Amino acid sequence: MTPPAWEPLRRRVREVLSQPATDAVVVALVLASVVLLMVELSLPLDSVAGRIAAWSGDVLTGLFAGELALRWWVARRTATFLRQYWIDLLAVVPVARTARLFRLVRVLRLVRAGVAMNRRVLWRYTSQADNVHQLTLLATLATAAVVAGTAALVTAESGLLHAWDEAAWYALYLFVGGEPIGPAPETTAGRVTTLGLMLGGMTIFGMFVGTVSAAMVTRMVKGWDVRDSDFEDLDGHVVVCGWNRSGPTLLQELVVADPRARVVLVCEGERPEDLPLDVLHPDQFFFHQGDYTRVDVLTHVGVPRARKAVLLTDGVVPRSDQDRDARTVLAALTIERLRPGIYTVAEVVSADTARHLEHAGVEEVVVGDWYAGVILGSAAANPGLVDVLDEILSHTYGNVFHTLELPPAWVGWTLRQARCELHDRWEATLVSVHAGRERLVNPPGDRTLAVGETLVVLARHRPQLP
């Protein structure tokens, strides 16, 4: 089907209306229209200045009506347009100048200004976006309520509240304090306005105070928990990215294997409730809430100075297995770029993803479900195997694996000599020899050891090689 001839123009108008500059102009015009409305309401109907203010306000109202007409024209669905701009439509409805009190509905344009600032200006250029998003809207509603209440009191009252300064302070105190302070209104419209300001203060101002309090408490708790300087001082630490049910065991093993190790946990959610607090020390464990696939987050937690990185298959945010593995690959590539040569261990769901990580330079890749299946199958074929694995795979008790650098004095030895030396002096069993990416498990005894190789042994205590 051929698109209408005006579709390119419609697309261009939509792009112009979505620009931040357009929102900035709208905000300025909204503020100007509200000021003109206040001036109009404060002057007599037959005064020259009042007529000029009213005429200027009508011109701005016409501009707003034209802008809304354009937005309706470019909107893909009329229902969506009405749901988004119904307040603005109320604000441009023509009201006779004799019904001056009803013209206060145009103060609702302030809500439009607040939404525009929140969506384009403040949202893009502030770091605390969530808090600003809420506070901007609440502050806009509060300002609109106080301004409308002030204008209504000036228009309806003839006594002390007819003065702009007295009415403004009365409306502000009433909105904040929740009860009248000062002269009481004498007209029905003034009393209704007073009741409306009281209800507005109980709701809008109450939410504003609650949001500010929650933001301050969150900020203080985060500031007491971990300071930026704490991350700046980290060097040679371990960065754990993501969290799932294996996280507590992982942290416990890291701390037991190296009690002096400092660990930073990064995940998108709040600090996990199942942390092994009995083994974690507050001076050695740090938590940071953030997206660990982003460069700025990884840089903030000191990845360029880290010694190791562990990537868990994240289960904090509901995602598909493919998405979890994709995030693991992205985080691994970013970490390897920020810290070339870092020792990285990654957990994935799919064996295909494991191959991609190996090509990316990740040293160890664990396919969790595959290992679980292997252990179950081996345990079924070899009774008692689980007890053996429980001991040798954990650092909490018994014999554990230790990786040792080959001492220069052992270069040229046969593995048979090395086995005897390890068993006789440290009661250690040689399991494998690593030469680069080559892994030799239970290697032949006549093989000769070379420079740069490492040994993996099984022992109760780490052998202190010469």
pTM of the model: 0.51
Q: What confidence tens digit (pLDDT) does each residue in 209-223 have? A: 666 666 665 555 554
Are the CB atoms for 123 and 132 separated by under 8 Å? yes
The total number of residues written for the chain in this structure = 466
pLDDT at 39: 75
Instruction: Identify the helix (H) or strand (E) that includes residue 302.
Output: none
Q: How far apart are the first and last CA of the chain?
A: 81
Where does the pLDDT of residue 237 fall: very low under 50, low under 70, confident under 90, or very high at 90 and above?
Answer: very high
Where does the pLDDT of residue 124 fall: very low under 50, low under 70, confident under 90, or very high at 90 and above?
Answer: very low
Phi-psi category of residue 181: left, alpha or beta, with phi > 0 → left and psi -120 to 50 → alpha: beta
Are the CB atoms for 238 and 307 separated by under 8 Å? yes
197 or 263, higher pLDDT: 263
Q: What confidence tens digit (pLDDT) does each residue in 270-280 have? A: 888 888 888 88
Least confident interval from 186-190, 263-267, 349-353? 186-190
Query: Does residue 129 register a pLDDT over 70?
Result: no
Q: What confidence tens digit (pLDDT) does each residue in 306-323 have? A: 999 999 998 888 888 889
Query: Does residue 159 register a pLDDT over 80?
Result: no
Alpha carbon separation from 423 to 224, 419, 430, 451, 461 (Å, rounded): 50, 6, 8, 22, 12
**If one looks up domain 228-371 in CATH, what number appears?**
3.40.50.720
pLDDT at 227: 47
Where does the pLDDT of residue 130 fall: very low under 50, low under 70, confident under 90, or very high at 90 and above?
Answer: low
- Residue that is written with structure tokens 């040293």 in the block: 363
The rounded percent of the chain whose pLDDT value lies above 70 is 80
Burial 347-384 (b: 16+ CB within 10 A, else e): bbbeeebbebbeebebeebbbeeeeeeeeeeeeeeeee
Are the CB atoms for 347 and 313 separated by under 8 Å? yes
| Cα four-point dihedral sign 81, 83, 87, 91 | positive
Beta strands in 410-451 (DSSP E): 429-435, 438-441
pLDDT at 226: 47
Residue 163 phi/psi, 5-degree rounding, is -75, 140
CATH architecture of 7-224: Orthogonal Bundle (1.10)
Q: What CA–CA distance (Å, rounded) separates 420 from 251? A: 34
**101 HSE (CA, 13 A, CB side):** 13
Average pLDDT over residues 376-393: 83
**If one looks up domain 399-466 in CATH, what number appears?**
3.30.70.1450
Q: What CA–CA distance (Å, rounded) separates 440 from 371? A: 20
pLDDT at 131: 57
Where does the pLDDT of residue 265 fall: very low under 50, low under 70, confident under 90, or very high at 90 and above?
Answer: very high
Across the chain, what does the average pLDDT equal? 79
Locate the domains of the chain by residue range.
7-224, 228-371, 399-466
In sequence order, the β-bridge partners of residue 448 are: 414
Where does the pLDDT of residue 108 fall: very low under 50, low under 70, confident under 90, or very high at 90 and above?
Answer: low
